[in-house]
Structure 1
Amino acid sequence: MDTALVIGGTRFIGRHLVEELLEHGYDVTLLNRGNHENPFESDDRVARVEGDRTNDSVLEAAATTVDPDAVFDCVAYYPKDVRAATGIFADCEAYVYISSGAAYGREDIPKREDETPLESCTSDQAVDDAYESYGNRKAEGDRAVVAAAERGTRAMSVRPPIVYGPHDYTERLDWWIDRVNRFDRVVVPGDGTNVWHRAYVEDVASALRIVAERGEAGEAYNVGDRRLVTLEEMGELIADRLGTDVEIVTAGARELAACDIALEDYVLYREYPHVLSTAKLAALGWESTSLEEAMERSVDSHLESDRDGSEHGPDRADEERVLGILDTV
């Protein structure tokens, strides 16, 4: 494969995917509306087609004018988007859909592609834009990929959990980096052993390319850090990169509630462990970045930006009250 069409491609996962494809010799074309700054605007290796991916005629025009070998769908949020794209790009060598670990419908540890069932999706959920139906819609997109493969299209899915790394506009990890960078005592909800699988963004990008090149039609592949860490350990990794000492103070539901904080107010906290098996992807030759290196790049990117994650998490003043309660115990 020599040519790639990236639907999206300018913000986070898509941006790293374009860089991954360029490093491996692909000619890349972006398809997007142009609502966000294009970091590849001055790069003559990257062409761009403007248009709304939800308009089938735009996809049809791209299929004709770009004639890509591989299509990477970074912004398919509704099942109808996947059904349309797999039909329009049916003759391409590969169509890769970014699904989500949220597509899984049962709390297995770990969740495996060929064993753990997916969420169901009603007709109302399929067109809903609420956060609560996100996993349902992604799961239905996965089923559209399987259906396309049964029709002869080489379509595949990649399922990441929460993705982190440079250029992460969600600022979820930035909230924690900011806390560790500014305070010598950081509150962690629960007992510190919470596990929510995460995926470093460059590893997601390499997974997308590898699945396009080596994956099997109709298959889904989980991607995530090969070594998982607890929320407390994540704070320590951040502190190590910042070169600072931090005291991780765990706080239970009772102490937090006394200061008007809920466990769920903390970004990246999940009560029940969310773990994806990545063995299937690793069997294709994919490897993940070491956690130390991934955190180094993430922290450095944070320090070079104005991101602080301030829209997430509880107020520091409320946390200071929690610390005061814990200090008296």
Structure 2
Amino acid sequence: MNILVLGGTRFFGKKLVELYLQNGHSVTILTRGQSGNPFGTKVKQLIANRDDADSLSQVLSDTTWDIVYDNICYSPNEAHNICNILKGKTKKLVFTSTLSTYEIDGIVKTEGDFNPFDYEVRMGNREDFSYGEGKRQAEAVLFKEATFPVVAVRFPIVMGENDYTRRLHFHIERILQEQPISLPNIEAKMSFITDDEAAAFLYFAGSTPIEGPYNATATGAISLKDLLGLIEETTGKHAKISLVGGDEMSQSPYGVPADWYMTTTKAEAAGFTFSQLHDWLPTLVKTLVKELQ
């Protein structure tokens, strides 16, 4: 197959490209050309600014694709532009969406808890919306305007050794350095997925005939209290927790006021088997602790 990946040079996007290369497919990455090309001559590279519709349209003129992956769409304007540009050019689009499309209300989320097909569209750029609302709007535009099949993959926070956001790293570093961590609710449970599994599901979403929104997360959830306990056990140090206030530097990027995770029943029914969170999370924590010590 002929694959185009927007946002494929780092983290799970990079893993996705590697999966397609390993399986003998032709891959093109589209980037701004600022972060280099980690694949060398194994892939083709197109240079364009994702936010510039004219630039994007020009570089994608006279191209056709079996599957396009859009990992870097954050607004309805960007979604509208890609729908127009890819009309007649692709057999399918896989859009990386997020758990943030769902409210944080303590209820385990199914795909039906956010329905993009009847969501009111408000056009705008990414700076006009919160992250979650931008993704909701992008989903709504894609499902209403696209002339090709679309899958929206809703990921929770993605974990991995090479996570450029360093969110799990943050907690380990703060505990190692005996610095405080501020959380609104230490009992709140969350779900996570690894970069490898995120890439595997994106591959699955593209190469099987599924359409529509799909949750994708490791099976199981963990409270922030238990996650910090894993880090304490591995480091031999006690976390300094603040449940109120705290300066900006101490605020946990996992800080949520209530349980926030989702079910993968729909994806499993389609044929994908997810890992168990507790099978890999302790190992990842140990690996990062060793690295950061």
Question: Given the alignment, which residue of 213, 216, 222 partners 2:215?
Answer: 222
Matched residue type, 2:218: D
Instruction: Tell me the distance in 2 between the aligned counterparts of 1:196 and 1:89.
Output: 36
Opposite residue 234 of structure 1, the aligned amino acid is L
> For residue 286 of structure 1, what is the aligned residue in structure 2?
272
Matching residue of 1:319: none
Query: Aligned equivalents of 2:231 and 2:209: distance in 1?
Result: 34
Report matched runs for 1:176-325 at 5 Å. Answer: 176-183=171-178, 189=183, 192-217=186-211, 219-238=212-231, 243-247=234-238, 251-253=242-244, 257=245, 260=246, 265-291=251-277, 292-294=279-281, 296-297=283-284, 300=287, 304=291
Matches within 5 A, 1:150-161: 151=147, 153-161=148-156
Cα deviation digits, residues 242-276 of structure 1 (max 9, x gap)? x44344565543xxx5xx559x9222110111112
Pair 247,55 (structure 1): closer, same or farther in 2 beyond 3 Å: closer
| 8 Å Cα contact 2:153/2:213 also seen in 1 | yes
Report the CA distance between 1:115 and its aligned residue: 3.6
- CA separation of 1:46/1:228 partners in 2, compared to 1, >3 Å: closer, same or farther? same
TM-score using structure 2 length? 0.83
Question: Residues 239 and 214 from structure 1, CA distance in 2 versus in 1: closer, same or farther, beyond 3 angstroms?
Answer: farther
Give, in whole Å, the separation in 1 of the partners of 2:91 and 2:258: 39
**Worse overlay, 155-164 or 111-120:** 111-120
Q: In the alignment, which residue of structure 2 is the partner of 1:324?
A: none
Q: How far has the Cα of 1:105 moved from its partner?
A: 4.8
CA contact (8 A) 1:207 1:281 kept: no
Provide the identity percentage. Answer: 24
TM-superposed CA distance for 1:206, in Å, is: 1.4
Partner of 1:84: 81
Secondary structure at the aligned position of 2:168 is classed as helix
**One-letter amino acid of the structure 1 residue matched with residue 33 of structure 2:** G
Q: Deviations over 1:161-196 (max 9, x none)?
A: 22221322211111112234455x986746632223
| 1:164 alignment counterpart | 159
The Cα shift of 1:228 comes to 0.9
Structure 2 matches for 1:48-87, cutoff 5 A? 48-64=45-61, 66-87=63-84
Deviation per CA, 1:195-214: give whole Å up to 9, x if none. Answer: 23323222221121111122
The one-letter amino acid of 2:31's match is N
Helix, strand or coil for the counterpart of 1:36?
Answer: coil
Contact map agreement 1:106 1:117 (CA 8 A) in 2: no
In the superposition, the TM-score normalised over structure 1's length comes to 0.75
Structure 2 residue 22 is matched with structure 1 residue 28: no
The 3-state SS of whatever aligns with 2:93 is strand
Task: Identify which range, 169-178 or 101-110, moves more after superposition.
Answer: 101-110
Cα–Cα, structure 1 residues 100 and 177, in superposed 2: closer, same or farther, change >3 Å? same
Q: 1:237 to 1:161 in 2, by over 3 A?
A: same
User: Do the aligned partners of residues 33 and 251 (structure 1) sit closer, same or farther apart at CA in structure 2, a change above 3 Å counting?
Assistant: closer
Number of equivalences:
289
Secondary structure of 1:99's aligned partner = strand
The alpha carbon displacement at 1:232 in A equals: 2.0
Aligned residue identity for 1:193:
E
Q: SS at 1:212's partner residue?
A: helix
Quick one: structure 1 residues 229 and 23, their matched pair in 2 at CA, closer, same or farther if it must change by over 3 Å? farther
- 1:180–1:288 distance in 2 versus 1, CA, 3 Å: farther
Instruction: Give the drift of 1:303.
Output: 5.2
Q: Give CA deviations for 1:142-161 in whole Å, capped at 9, x if unaligned.
A: 11221135x4x111211112
The alignment's C-alpha RMSD in Å is: 3.2
How many angstroms does 1:239 deviate by? 5.1
- Runs of 4+ in structure 1 off by over 6 angstroms are none
Indicate the residue corresponding to 1:133 in structure 2. Answer: 130
Structure 1 gaps, min length 5: 309-329
Q: Deviations over 1:264-294 (max 9, x none)?
A: 9222110111112221122222233343435
Query: Structure 2: 5+ residue runs without aligned partners?
Result: none
Q: Give the match for residue 18 of structure 1.
A: 17
Rounded Cα–Cα distance in structure 1 between residues aligned with 2:189 and 2:134: 24
For 1:76-96, what per-residue CA distance to the aligned partner results, in whole angstroms no more than 9, with x for missing partners? 112121122123223422101
Whose radius of gyration is greater, 1 or 2? Answer: 1
What is the rounded CA distance, in whole Å, between the counterparts of 1:252 and 1:223 in structure 2?
30
Q: Is 2:6–2:31's contact at 8 Å kept on the other side of the alignment?
A: yes
What is residue 323 of structure 1 aligned with on the other side?
Answer: none
